[in-house]
Chain A
Amino acid sequence: DVKVTQSSRYLVKRTGEKVFLECVQDMDHENMFWYRQDPGLGLRLIYFSYDVKMKEKGDIPEGYSVSREKKERFSLILESASTNQTSMYLCASSSGTRDPRGNTIYFGEGSWLTVV
């Protein structure tokens, strides 16, 4: 079974703090994603990485950065947390469209971040 593990389930941070959300996958997947989920807005893609050290902006990258130094690990960084970044953050991974079985994305349990 695919396992995507997010390091923190619940976090409370102060405005202006630098926040790291870590994610690890154990399936040797090429692609990793960070999504944000808010009521009424569904899942919105923040950043996407298709290889080590490679990244691509998603729909809402402002205020976020990412790091992928190793294939299995993808970190989301909030440089200076703000209250409007209070949300549920979901990490995911996939084998990509090169997989003949199709590009299925697998999710972690989510990290609930509150910025006060």
Chain B
Amino acid sequence: AQKVTQAQTEISVVEKEDVTLDCVYETRDTTYYLFWYKQPPSGELVFLIRRNSFDEQNEISGRYSWNFQKSTSSFNFTITASQVVDSAVYFCALSEAGDDKIIFGKGTRLHILP
């Protein structure tokens, strides 16, 4: 069965600090996709990134970076030099090949303090 665990329920950091959000997943498939979404206070979930299981290269997009490690079944998300606008709930998600449903973790609420 597939499962996504975000052990950090809530994190607070001071602006400009780096912060890493953890995501651990479980799946029996060898082909799967991992996602991160951001949910700001307005409520809409915004797609940030998708990785497939065959691509373990780390990805960087501006202040955001993602570390995918199959050996530990983790797909962690790091925000460098955090800003107040990064305050949101972040969700990690998993989709197995051939299954159109996507399973979400319970989310990590991130507070960036000015």
Could you list which residues of chain A lie within 8 angstroms of chain B, going by C-beta atoms? 30-31, 33, 40-43, 45, 48, 50, 58, 88, 90, 92, 94, 96-97, 102-110, 112
Contact = CB atoms under 8 A, between A and B. Distances in A.
Contact of B43 (A58, A94, A110): A110
A33 B107 CA distance: 19
Given A48-B100, A88-B43, A109-B42, A40 B95 contact: no
Given A31-B100, A96-B100, A97-B95, A42 B45 contact: no
A94 to B, nearest CB: 7
Given A102-B50, A106-B47, A42 B98 contact: no
Interface of B: 33, 35, 37, 42-47, 50, 52, 91, 93, 95, 97-102, 104-107
A107 B44 contact: yes
A97 B106 contact: no
Nearest to A56: B101
Given A43-B107, A94-B102, A105-B102, 4 more contacts: A97-B99, A102-B95, A103-B33, A108-B44
A94 B33 CA distance: 13
Given A42-B105, A102-B52, A97 B45 contact: no
